Amino acid sequence: MGSRIKKLLQNSLGIIIGSVFLFLTLRKKSMTPIWESLANADYFFIILSFVCLFVIFYLRALRWKLIIEESGEKPKSDKVLTSILLGYFVNSFTPKFGEIIRCTSLQKTANVPVSVSMGSVMAERAYDLLILGIGVFAIFWVELDRLQSIIDSTLGGISHIYGYRYLYVIPFALVVLFILFLISLRRLKKSERRPIKKIVEFLQSMFLSLKQGLLLKKRFHFIVLTILIWAMLITLNYIYLLCLPETSSYSISFAIVVLFIGGIGWALPSPGGIGTTHFLLLQLFVAFQLDPNAGISFGILSNGLTFIGTIVIGGYGYFRYWVETRTLAKSEKNK
């Protein structure tokens, strides 16, 4: 019951964060030119974006499988793909709950322990956050004069939710919670109670998987897949720019800026990056002295196409998972 309440609170907080940023993006804006821009979108590039999105999911599945294999597990590629599609499908409606779903689903279809897959997901996210952080730092280093306004606007938007005084408390609170967690874990290790032992074993297995995922043996394969994933993400954002007449003339270098600045919005706890990405993309267009309406149109189109594409492709993953679990249930019943 407690876990359900916690999930409900997390989902509610994510929706509130997304709603606030969406309000800040659309307030005092005329929607007529924005809808006209979206009505003129190029359908060829819209369809091409869905193809590109599926390729990204497939590459992510191959990379996740590679990390899982560091722990000695050997899941089939199609099972990993099904789980990752299902996870992204759930992430479209909840703030990052899909990461848990893809781990539990992989346990059911490929017998990979949740602790192992959870540790591998943490390793995967750590690498992606590192690349995102490097990319954001590099872009701000080059374009600091233009992008300073984004920092001020984003902090102002967050302050509507938390208040400025809480912004400085969050990093300190996270460090304190992590230290308390480590202290508690050391004490729990000495406990002889079976439920507590199970929890400790789960955490130890998860952190071992995380460690193995970070200290990769197949580094070359991992680096190649990671480069391909981020190259396809840049391509996807460039395709989104080509969809609209107002942004079709923008360069691929601007698509790189869009990817990393918009990526901050996806990293925030909002379902599907709704609101947060729209807000940051609007600030980006303003910072580069581009048409604000084009920024809103692009934000709605890129986020909307990603959302729809994830729902459609993720729905296919959900169907695959349903078929696989029914097949497994029948085979176990016939034994």
Question: What's the mean pLDDT when you consider all of the chain?
Answer: 77
The three-state secondary structure class of 215 is coil
- Give percent above pLDDT 70 in the chain: 65
Boundaries of domain holding 92? 2-22+33-334
Is 28 within a domain?
no
What does the H/E/C string look like for 249-286?
A: CCCHHHHHHHHHHHHHHHHCCCHHHCCHHHHHHHHHHH
Is 115 within a domain?
yes
Cα gap 77→58, rounded to integer Å:
9
pLDDT, tens digit, for every residue of 141-160? 877 666 665 555 555 544 44
Q: DSSP for 140-175?
A: HHHSHHHHHHHHHHHHHHHHHHT-HHHHTHHHHHHH
Q: Up-side HSE of residue 137: CA atoms within 13 Å toward CB? A: 6
pLDDT, tens digit, for every residue of 49-85? 999 999 999 999 999 999 898 888 899 999 999 999 9
Among 297, 299, 312, which Cα is nearest to 39's? 297
Among 227, 334, 181, 242, which Cα is nearest to 46's? 242
Angle at 307 between CA 305 and CA 308, to 5 degrees: 65
Is 312 within a domain?
yes
User: What's this model's pTM, rounded to 2 decimal places?
Assistant: 0.77
Is 259 within a domain?
yes
pLDDT, tens digit, for every residue of 91-146? 877 766 788 899 999 999 888 888 888 888 888 888 888 888 888 888 878 776 66
Cα gap 11→4, rounded to integer Å:
11
Angle at 101 between CA 280 and CA 50, to 5 degrees: 50
Among 66, 65, 57, 117, which Cα is nearest to 91's? 57
Is 27 within a domain?
no
Cα gap 52→292, rounded to integer Å:
27
Number of domains into which the chain is organized: 1
Q: Do residues 257 and 284 lie in contact, with contact meaning Cβ atoms separated by under 8 Å?
A: yes
In sequence order, the 6+-apart residues with CB closer than 8 A to the CB of 237 are 255, 256, 258, 259, 262, 302
Is 260 within a domain?
yes
Cα gap 204→63, rounded to integer Å:
23
Cα gap 14→93, rounded to integer Å:
10
pLDDT, tens digit, for every residue of 7-31? 555 556 666 666 666 666 666 666 7
